[in-house]
Structure 1
Amino acid sequence: MTEYTDPACPWAWGSEPVFRLLRQGLSPRLEWRRVFGILFDEDDDPAPDPDAEARWYEGFVKGVAAHTRAPYAARLQWLTRTSWPASLAAKAAQEQGESVAEHVLRRLRETTFILGRPADSLQTMAGVLKGIQGLDVERLLEGRAMKAARVAVREDWAETRRPIREVRDLDGPGPHPGRVKEVGEGCRYALPTLLFE
């Protein structure tokens, strides 16, 4: 199974309990691979009015939460500037074991969806991830680990933008039917998407 996701995606946040149950129910017969698709890219144009953009996204998150019943922050302090730092940290955490990686990703999502202060810079990552049992934060954030994570997430980014034919015209029920999303001159998997093979 391949999960296309992003730490800043409210649909992924709301789907997390169901995905966790699915992994537990199908384990150990299931190999689960997580691909970080980068919802907010580094070269995206900055919002002309960051506060208005945060209020819009806050309303979007509330709408998603009405569907998924996920908790959400009463106020989003700012809109995530980029998904790269959180994706890099989550990818690098995989080197320290599945349980550690799960806790790191959950903590990163909580910064946005519980605290309303997205972890969108590597400079703040050490403080955000402090106290996660079994996590060596210094090892996670050291240059070699981040360089390897950047290569891996760059590959994830590219893979996410090569969706299979079956999801290009998918038309299903609900507000998030799984059809690909148009991005720039191409498209990517909707986040999250689970691909069973």
Structure 2
Amino acid sequence: MFGLEMDATTEKNNSSSGRKNLDESDEWIIEITQYTDPYCTWCWGSEPIMRKIKAIYGDQVKISFVMGGLVEDFDTFFDSQNNIGGSKKFEQVAAHWEEASRRHGQPVDHQVFFDLKGDFHSTYQASIAYKAAQLLDQELADKYLRRLREATSAERKQIHKIKIQVELAEEVGLDKEKFIQAIESGEAEKKFIEDLKLSRKSGIHGFPTFNVKSRDGAGKFLNGWQHYQAFERVLTDLAGDSLKKDTYNLKESDILRFIDKNKKVSTQEVATLVGIDKFAAYEYLNKLKSVKSIKAGNDYFWVAN
């Protein structure tokens, strides 16, 4: 539960599903549409890959998000794949997050589920908050989604609560009053329902699911958490040599360039960026005087010093 882990062999051809309202004036060559949920741990685990793609390809690859609605009613929820449900479901999800973190490498604080016990009923509220942000500003909305993921996954914050949602919205620069109005008016919920319908129409059954496509509509679905190489193969299949690549190596200037772009990065995100294991990335980052660590659950974030 709270995300789907599958290997890179789960590709399938796609020629029509996905968003239709694409801005033709954009510079993108490939669009990756991620069907997701702020609470999805394997979506959180996909952040290093998404950030590497943006670092390497920039605006040539557009990344969009569709809220798929992970859990409508946690009180009656049962995940047969991960054996999560019943009276111990909060403890089971906490254990699942810990196990997932060992695989995907992103920081988690599983104690959030003990905080949520008895008070949390659905992931929908957090998704609606993202849609409220999207109504105001797309660029800030995507930053907001990242903050929602960080907050619940690694900072033990209860993002289903409006107070936390508003605090995070202000952090990324969204207008507080307009954000609240978008939620209270019901407009954000309407947009969320549209996302749910799109997810069902596209045959989405787990999160994350990625629809990777070119401007002519040709593309493939990738189901579940993927290694970076899986995306590289699909990008090459769809775009050939038309994509220009930036290069990042294990050197201070490149790491600082990556941090400057993203402001705050995880150890795993640096490891994925330069193609080393997480321990080696931690050892390297810990020696740099130009960056500092911030404890985040079972690992660290890194910011410029």
Quickly name the TM-score band, shorter chain normalised.
0.7 to 0.9
Q: CA deviation at 1:61?
A: 0.5
CA distance in structure 1 between the aligned counterparts of 2:52 and 2:156, rounded to whole angstroms: 26
Letter in 1 for 2:61: L
Alignment of 1:1-197 (within 5 A): 1-42=32-73, 45=76, 49=87, 52-76=88-112, 77-78=115-116, 80-132=120-172, 134-143=173-182, 147-164=186-203, 188-197=204-213
Distance 1:110 1:28, change over 3 A: closer
CA contact (8 A) 1:10 1:64 kept: yes
**Matched residue of 1:190: which SS?**
coil
CA contact (8 A) 1:92 1:145 kept: no
Q: CA deviation at 1:130?
A: 3.6
Letter in 2 for 1:56: Q
CA distance in structure 1 between the aligned counterparts of 2:70 and 2:50, rounded to whole angstroms: 19
CA distance in structure 2 between the aligned counterparts of 1:25 and 1:36, rounded to whole angstroms: 25
Q: List gaps (5 residues or longer) in structure 1.
A: 165-187
Q: CA deviation at 1:73?
A: 0.6
CA contact (8 A) 1:90 1:105 kept: yes
CA contact (8 A) 2:42 2:100 kept: yes
CA contact (8 A) 1:139 1:145 kept: no
Distance 1:148 1:27, change over 3 A: farther
Normalising by structure 1, we get a TM-score of 0.74
Distance 1:107 1:144, change over 3 A: closer
Q: List gaps (5 residues or longer) in structure 2.
A: 1-31, 78-84, 214-305
Larger Rg: 2
The Cα RMSD (Å) is: 2.5
Letter in 2 for 1:162: K
CA contact (8 A) 1:92 1:146 kept: no
Letter in 2 for 1:196: V
CA contact (8 A) 1:72 1:113 kept: yes
Report which stretch shifted further, 85-94 or 155-164.
155-164
Letter in 2 for 1:191: F
> Which structure has the highest strand share of the two?
2
Q: CA deviation at 1:19?
A: 1.0
Letter in 2 for 1:58: A
Identity across aligned pairs (percent)? Answer: 25
Q: CA deviation at 1:141?
A: 1.5
Partner of 2:23: none
